[in-house]
């Protein structure tokens, strides 16, 4: 069932000189109940502007946004706040409020004229804090929390608001990796179980591709909409995010770092004698990460490479050794913790 419908929407700002600054043009987009959708795109492309327009915080320049079939501008503030909660980035809360009091602010659309909170309100606050695993912060002064803890509390406030639609603007930006994954998964579970519509703007592309149901990918003036598999297979992710220094690898779903300063081509292989090696290192993994390092330095991996590198195990001295050949010169580097193979090859062969 459609919860949000966009028709011929142009987002943007009315400027002081009365001119209009148009940001995005979105002919037709919809969001359904139970969808967890991420909104991605380069800096300044219009993600926050679109979220602010969808939540009714700023008016569209042209076109229409409908929430549950009603044009958003026809909804009064209280009705709107019962339908949409919006988690903003970097919200500063003034005053010495506890975490519990901040989450209780999410209940304001339901609190009566005299401002008295009910048992239901208190229960919603507890449930919301529990779902973001922040109950231990309940009595803390909000100003004393870390950025990541504060972000979780702001998500709890949106959950306490108990709306069918939740917008989040870069809400995982301050979180460490386990917490970012946890919040992504949590939002997806909430979307599924509670049949909410969740739209999260984020720079977490790899995570979006793995976790989101759909992606809204903003490009100059337009939005490409689709499931992650479709956007990857059509090369849309590459088109938008590839640069001189980074390239999206559609098989692994990760971004590989590269350099515009081209260096030598190389090939790294394991020599068979490494089978004798019974050490604790996973040498295949080491080679994989060395390949990433060489590519990030501007080297190309190739079968007919300029520089041939072999990792072998020397049974004479019981050490791993890197055997490097360029033109007619071969050097052997014994492996040790501080050996930076790329720097060493560069110094010994190319400087
Ligand atoms: N209040 C404003 N008045 C005029 N222009 C604005 C206003 N807020 C944002 N803009 C401009 O609108 C464009 C889109 O900004 P927006 O913040 O929506 O991008 P974004 O995709 O969220 O960027 P980021 O990833 O960097 O957060 C930018 O060119 C920005 O400078």
pLDDT tens readout for residues 206-235: 999 999 999 999 998 789 999 999 999 988
Inform me whether the pLDDT recorded for 171 exceeds 80: yes
Q: Is the CB of 48 under 6 A from ligand 1?
A: yes
Work out which ligand 1 atom sits closest to the CA atom of 51. 18
Residue 49 Cβ < 6 Å to ligand 1: yes
Model confidence at 247, in pLDDT bands (50, 70, 90)?
Answer: confident
Taking the C-alpha atoms of residue 83 and residue 255, their distance in angstroms, rounded to an integer, is 37
In short, whether 52's Cβ falls inside 6 Å of ligand 1 is no
- Residue 214 sits at φ, ψ, to 5 deg, of -140, 160
Which of 23, 168, 173, when mutated, tests ligand 1's pocket best, judged by the most ligand atoms within 8 Å of its CB? 23
CA distance 121 to 49: 31
Say yes or no: CB of residue 46 within 6 Å of ligand 1. yes
- Pseudo-torsion of CA 30, 32, 36, 38, nearest 10°? 0
The pair phi, psi for residue 258, each rounded to 5°, is: -140, 180
**CA distances, 84 to each of 50, 137, 197 (Å):** 14, 25, 9
Question: What's the gap in Å between 329 CA and the centre of ligand 1?
Answer: 55
13 CB under 6 A from ligand 1?
yes
Tell me the C-alpha to C-alpha distance, in Å, between residue 336 and each of 33, 54, 321, 322, 324. 56, 57, 9, 10, 16
Residue in the structure block whose two tokens are 């460490």: 176
Q: What is the pLDDT of residue 210?
A: 92
The predicted-structure confidence for 27-54, as pLDDT tens digits, reads as follows 999 999 999 999 999 999 999 999 999 9
The model's pLDDT over 113-122, given as tens digits with 9 standing for 90+, comes to 677 888 899 9
| 63 three-class SS | strand
C-alpha gyration radius of the chain: 26
State the Cα–Cα distance between residues 24 and 11, nearest whole angstrom.
5
**Which pLDDT score, from 0 to 100, does residue 299 have?**
93
Q: At what angle do helices 119-131 and 147-161 cross, to 10 degrees?
A: 140
Q: Does the pLDDT at position 5 exceed 80?
A: yes
Tell me how far apart the alpha carbons of residues 44 and 63 are, in angstroms, rounded to a whole number: 21
Q: What is the DSSP string of 160-191?
A: HHT-SEEEEESTTTTS-HHHHHHHHHHHHHHH
Token match 């989450």: residue? Answer: 103
Q: Quote the ligand 1 centre to 37 CA distance (angstroms).
A: 20
User: Which residue has a Cα nearest atom 30 of ligand 1?
Assistant: 44
Q: How does the average pLDDT of the chain come out, rounded? A: 91
What is the spatial distance between Cα 5 and Cα 29, in angstroms, rounded to a whole number? 6
Give the residue among 270, 264, 244, 268 at the shortest CA–CA distance from 255: 244
Point out the ligand 1 atom lying closest to the alpha carbon of residue 218. 21
pTM of the model: 0.86
Residue with the two structure tokens 């990541």:
148
pLDDT band at 351 (very low <50, low <70, confident <90, very high): confident
**pLDDT tens string 265-308:** 999 998 877 777 777 778 888 899 999 999 999 999 998 899 99
Which tokens is 296 given? 């990030």
CA of 180 to the centre of ligand 1 (A): 24
Residues 6+ positions from 93 with CB-CB distance below 8 Å = 102, 142, 143
List domains and CATH numbers for the chain. Answer: 2-242 (3.40.50.300), 265-350 (3.30.160)
- pLDDT band for 343, please (50, 70, 90 cuts): very high
E-assigned strand segments in 202-289: 214-219, 222-226, 246-249, 254-257, 265-270
User: What pLDDT score was predicted for residue 115?
Assistant: 72
């Amino acid at each position: 069932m459609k919860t949000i419908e966009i028709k011929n929407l142009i987002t943007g700002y009315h400027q002081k000189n009365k001119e209009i600054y148009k940001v995005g043009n979105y002919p037709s987009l919809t969001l359904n109940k139970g969808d967890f959708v991420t909104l991605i795109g380069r800096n300044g492309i219009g993600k926050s502007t679109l979220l602010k327009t969808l939540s009714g915080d700023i008016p569209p320049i042209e076109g229409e946004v409908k929430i549950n079939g009603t044009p958003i501008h026809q909804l009064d503030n209280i009705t709107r706040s019962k339908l949409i909660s919006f988690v903003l980035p970097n919200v500063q809360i003034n005053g010495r409020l506890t975490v519990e009091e901040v989450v209780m602010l999410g209940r304001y659309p339901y609190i009566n004229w005299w401002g008295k909170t009910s048992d239901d309100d208190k229960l919603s606050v507890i449930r919301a804090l529990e779902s973001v695993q922040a109950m231990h912060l309940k009595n803390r002064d909000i100003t004393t929390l870390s950025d990541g803890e504060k972000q979780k509390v702001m998500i709890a406030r949106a959950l306490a608001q108990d709306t069918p639609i939740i917008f989040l603007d870069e809400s995982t930006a301050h979180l460490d990796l386990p917490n970012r994954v946890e919040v992504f998964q949590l939002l997806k579970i909430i979307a599924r179980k509670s049949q909410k519509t969740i739209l999260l703007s984020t720079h977490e592309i790899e995570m979006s591709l793995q976790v989101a149901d759909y992606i809204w990918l903003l490009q100059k003036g337009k939005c490409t909409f689709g499931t992650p598999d479709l956007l990857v297979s059509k090369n849309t992710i590459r088109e938008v995010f590839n640069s001189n220094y980074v390239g999206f690898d559609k098989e692994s779903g990760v971004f590989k770092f590269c350099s515009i300063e081209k260096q030598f081509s190389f090939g790294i292989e394991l020599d068979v004698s490494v089978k004798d090696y019974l050490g604790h290192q996973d040498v295949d993994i080491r080679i994989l990460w060395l390949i990433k390092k060489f590519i990030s330095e501007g080297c190309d991996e190739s079968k007919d490479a300029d520089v041939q590198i072999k990792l072998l195990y020397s049974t004479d001295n019981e050490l791993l050794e890197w055997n490097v050949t360029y033109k007619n010169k071969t050097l052997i580097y014994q492996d040790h913790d501080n050996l930076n193979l790329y720097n060493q090859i560069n110094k010994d062969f190319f400087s």
